[in-house]
């Protein structure tokens, strides 16, 4: 239940610039292609280390998308919330950022 509550509170987002959105979508489509490639490698019983190398590349690609999204969130959404003057909104933002850092700091 706690997850559902957090998801409901996080629906407020700021629109991205079209070029930024397209850049993210392009990266995600490339990742999708990488995943399909790994599927094919598994279907073809390719050498395990080769598959693992590709899996590592997929993970790094996803981390790059995470970094872009985190930077965007900090520069726009979080900054706006903290500057809003609304103490409750600011506290929710601090809590959200703390959780994001704990989940994504690796």
CB 59 within 8 A of CB 70: no
Tens digit of pLDDT for each residue in 55-86? 999 999 999 999 999 999 888 888 888 888 88
pLDDT recorded at residue 81 = 86
Here the tokens at position 63 are: 């981390």
- Give the CATH fold of the 17-104 domain: Methane Monooxygenase Hydroxylase; Chain G, domain 1 (1.20.58)
Q: Whole-structure pTM over 0.95, yes or no? A: no
Q: Where do the structural domains in the chain lie, given as residue ranges?
A: 17-104
Taking Cα atoms as reference points, which of 9, 17, 8 lies closest to residue 75? 17
Q: In this predicted model, what pLDDT tens digit does every residue of 31-64 receive, in sequence order?
A: 999 999 999 999 999 999 999 999 999 999 999 9
């Amino acid at each position: 239940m706690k997850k559902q509550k957090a998801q409901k509170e996080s629906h407020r987002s700021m629109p991205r610039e079209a070029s930024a959105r397209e850049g993210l979508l392009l990266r995600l489509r490339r990742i999708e292609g990488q995943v399909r490639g790994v599927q094919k490698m598994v279907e073809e019983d390719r050498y395990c280390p080769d598959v693992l190398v590709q899996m590592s590349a997929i993970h790094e690609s996803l981390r790059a998308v995470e970094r872009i999204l985190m930077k965007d969130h900090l520069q726009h959404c979080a900054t706006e919330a903290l500057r809003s003057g609304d103490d409750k909104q600011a506290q929710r933002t601090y809590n959200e950022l703390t959780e994001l850092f704990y989940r994504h700091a690796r």
